[in-house]
């Protein structure tokens, strides 16, 4: 019988396996990076939503202050209230809130006791459990001057009469508008502003 010659292995399969392994490794790294970016975006959305939720606390406190106040013709620092429109930035944010790093007493318009500080542990929470947010707010009446409300120099809201209009109907008294502006400072230098216009 004639013996068959032994074929030498040329290593082609090894080269193909290494190339396949490299492609799989690159794909895995790309997938991990994409997942990390997605997780970071989800975290940012949640963080932004929490800042908005905390701003609602200041909005509620400001509206309660307006409704409970007996007179709103003069500035009242204990309510963070200005009876005349405040100077604003090009974006419409009162300049007293844009002062960095913190607004302080906001030019005498506000009181430091009205700052909602979520950096201090309360009711058994540790500092690491908190949102690490500080919330400032200010209210200004949409009038050119303080003193008695003048419909000619104030932005007003009138309440329409209910039902049909008859000749004996009394026109509702115009009510001034109030602008509530909230600044929320968060971790890593995050900062958001929120505004609402209300009447009482």
Whole-angstrom distance, CA of residue 48 vs CA of residue 179: 22
pLDDT at 84: 92
Radius of gyration, CA atoms only, the chain: 31
pLDDT at 138: 94
pLDDT at 82: 92
Whole-angstrom distance, CA of residue 45 vs CA of residue 54: 14
- Assess contact for 143 and 153: CB atoms under 8 A: yes
167 DSSP assignment: T
pLDDT at 197: 92
Structure tokens at 108: 């005498």
- Assess contact for 94 and 170: CB atoms under 8 A: no
Whole-angstrom distance, CA of residue 122 vs CA of residue 184: 19
Rounded to two decimals, what is the model's pTM? 0.69
| Sequence-separated (6 or more) residues with CB below 8 Å from residue 128 | none
Can you list the positions of beta strands (E) in 25-149?
Answer: 81-82, 116-117, 134-141
Bridge-based pairing of strands 134-141 and 81-82 is parallel
Structure tokens at 165: 């209009």
Omega before 101 within 30 of 0, i.e. cis: yes
Per-residue pLDDT of the chain (200 residues; tens, 9 = 90+): 566 665 655 667 888 888 888 888 888 888 888 777 766 655 566 677 778 888 888 899 999 988 888 788 899 988 999 999 999 999 999 999 988 788 888 888 888 888 888 765 555 545 554 557 889 999 999 999 988 888 888 988 865 555 555 666 666 678 889 999 999 988 777 889 999 999 87
């Amino acid at each position: 019988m004639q013996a068959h010659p032994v074929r030498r292995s040329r290593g082609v399969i090894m080269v193909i396996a290494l190339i396949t392994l490299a492609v799989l490794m690159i794909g895995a790294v790309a997938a991990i990076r994409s997942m990390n970016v997605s997780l970071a975006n989800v975290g940012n959305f949640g963080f932004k939503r929490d800042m908005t939720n905390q701003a609602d606390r200041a909005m509620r406190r400001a509206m309660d202050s307006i409704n409970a106040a007996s007179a709103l013709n003069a500035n009242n620092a204990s309510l963070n209230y200005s009876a005349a429109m405040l100077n604003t930035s090009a974006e419409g944010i009162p300049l007293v809130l844009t002062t960095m790093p913190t607004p302080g007493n906001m030019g005498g318009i506000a009181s430091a006791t009205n700052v909602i500080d979520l950096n201090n542990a309360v009711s058994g929470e540790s500092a690491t459990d908190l949102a690490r947010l500080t919330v400032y707010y200010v209210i200004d009446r949409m009038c050119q001057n303080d003193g008695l409300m003048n419909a000619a120099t104030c932005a007003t809201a009138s309440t329409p009469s209910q039902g049909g209009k008859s000749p004996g109907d009394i026109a509702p008294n115009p009510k001034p508008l109030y602008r509530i502006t909230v600044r929320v400072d968060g971790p890593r230098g995050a900062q958001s502003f929120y505004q609402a216009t209300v009447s009482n």
